[in-house]
Amino acid sequence: REKGLFNEIEESWVYGVELKPDFSGIIGEPKLLLRPPVSMVDRQAEWESRSVTSGEVNRRWTEGSYIFKRNGIYYIMYSANFFGGENYAVGYATSKSPLGIFKKAGNNPVLQKNTGQGGIVTGTGHNSVTVSPDGKEMLCVYHGRTSKTGNNRVVFIDRMEVLADGTLVVHGPTTSE
C-alpha cells in the first residue's frame, strides 16, 4: 500500500478456538483472548505501546502467545511491540479457562530489554516454556538481540517461576558474558 496513505495505528490480536478431540476441526467460533489496550489510560498501555510512542513503527503487536496451566490457572504469555525493535517485550495474563477471559498481570512486562540497567539485551520476545531435565525448574526460551549481534536475533534461556501468590517471574534477560 502507498506509504503515508493511512494514519491509523495498526494492531494484531490473539484469538483462541476449541478443537475437536481428534484435532480434525474446530468447535464454535474463535474468541478474542488478547489485544493491545483500548485506551492509553490503561496501565498496560505504557509498555505495550512503546514501539508507537517511541516512533519505531505505527503498529501495536500482540502476538507470539504461549499458554500453560499451573495450579488450576491458565497463563498466557505474549509478546508486544515491534518484533524488529528494542521495545519488544513479554507480558502475561491469567484465566480460569483456556479461552478466557484473560486478565493482564500488574507486573508486566515480565521480560524486556535490560540496556537501561547496564545490560546488552533488547528485543526480547516470542517465548515458550519448558522445564529443566530434572523437572524442578521452569525455563523461558525466547529470542532477543544484543549489542554484539545487532539486528540478528539469538536464543536465550532463563529461569522462571510462578510464585505462591500466582505471580509469574522471569529471571532475565541474562547473558553468559
Q: What is the pLDDT of residues 46-96, one digit of tens each?
A: 999 998 888 888 888 899 999 999 999 999 999 999 898 999 999 999 999
Return the pLDDT at 43. Answer: 87
* Tally of CB atoms within 10 A around 171: 13
> What are the structural domains, with CATH classification, of the chain?
10-170 (2.115.10.20)
Interval 143-165 mean pLDDT: 96
Phi (first) and psi of residue 116, to 5 degrees: -70, -15
Residues 6+ apart with CB under 8 A from 28: 17, 18
Question: Is a pLDDT exceeding 60 seen at residue 2?
Answer: no
CA neighbor of 169 nearest in space, from 100, 74, 90, 83? 90
Mean pLDDT score across all residues of the chain: 93
Q: pTM, whole model, 2 decimals?
A: 0.91
> Per the structure block, which three cell numbers stand in for 151?
539486528
